[in-house]
Amino acid sequence: MSDFYSRLNKDDAAVLLVDHQTGLISGLVRDYGVDEFKNNVMALANTAKFFDLPVILTTSFEKGPNGPLMQELVELFPHAPKIARPGQINAWDNEDFVKAIEETGKKQLIIAGVVTDVCVAFPALSAVNAGYEVFVATDASGTFSKQVADAALTRMAHGGVQLLNWFSIACELQRDWRNDVEGFGILISNHLPGYQNLIGSYRGAQRDFSKQAN
**Residue 135: pLDDT over 80:** yes
HEC letters along 194-210: CHHHHHHHHHHHHHHHH
Q: What is the pLDDT, as a whole number, of residue 202?
A: 60
Q: What is the pLDDT, as a whole number, of residue 65?
A: 87
Does 19 fall in a domain?
yes
Tell me, yes or no, if 171 is annotated catalytic. no
* Percent residues over pLDDT 70 in the chain: 90
107 and 205 part of one domain? no
**CA pair distance 214, 212, nearest whole angstrom:** 5
Tell me the average pLDDT across 168-174.
Answer: 98
- Say which CATH number the domain at 75 has: 3.40.50.850
Tell me the pLDDT of the chain averaged across its residues: 92
Tell me the average pLDDT across 133-161.
Answer: 98
68 and 107 part of one domain? yes
Does 205 fall in a domain?
yes
**Residue 110: pLDDT over 50:** yes
Q: What is the pLDDT, as a whole number, of residue 18?
A: 98
170 and 153 part of one domain? yes
Tell me the average pLDDT across 122-134.
Answer: 98
Q: What is the pLDDT, as a whole number, of residue 210?
A: 60
**CA pair distance 47, 173, nearest whole angstrom:** 9
96 and 156 part of one domain? yes
Does 5 fall in a domain?
no
What pTM, to 2 d.p., does this model score? 0.92
27 and 123 part of one domain? yes
**Residue 1: pLDDT over 50:** no
Q: What is the pLDDT, as a whole number, of residue 182?
A: 86
Which helix (H) or strand (E) element contains residue 17?
strand 13-18
Q: Are the beta carbons of 106 and 13 closer than 8 angstroms?
A: yes
**Residue 208: pLDDT over 60:** no
73 and 102 part of one domain? yes
Q: Are the beta carbons of 138 and 162 closer than 8 angstroms?
A: no
**Residue 129: pLDDT over 70:** yes
pLDDT band at 200 (very low <50, low <70, confident <90, very high): low
Domain that holds residue 111: 13-175
Using one digit for the tens of pLDDT, what is the confidence trace for 9-50?
999 999 999 999 999 999 999 999 999 999 999 999 999 999
168 and 183 part of one domain? no
pLDDT band at 5 (very low <50, low <70, confident <90, very high): confident
- Edge-first strand order for the sheet with 55-60 is 82-85, 55-60, 13-18, 108-113, 133-137, 162-164
Q: What is the pLDDT, as a whole number, of residue 131?
A: 98
pLDDT band at 66 (very low <50, low <70, confident <90, very high): very high
Task: Give which of 17, 4, 5 is closest to 109, Cα–Cα.
Answer: 17
Tell me the average pLDDT across 199-209.
Answer: 60
The count of domains in the chain is 2
169 and 144 part of one domain? yes
115 and 45 part of one domain? yes
Catalytic residue, candidates 28, 100, 119, 152: 119
Does 1 fall in a domain?
no
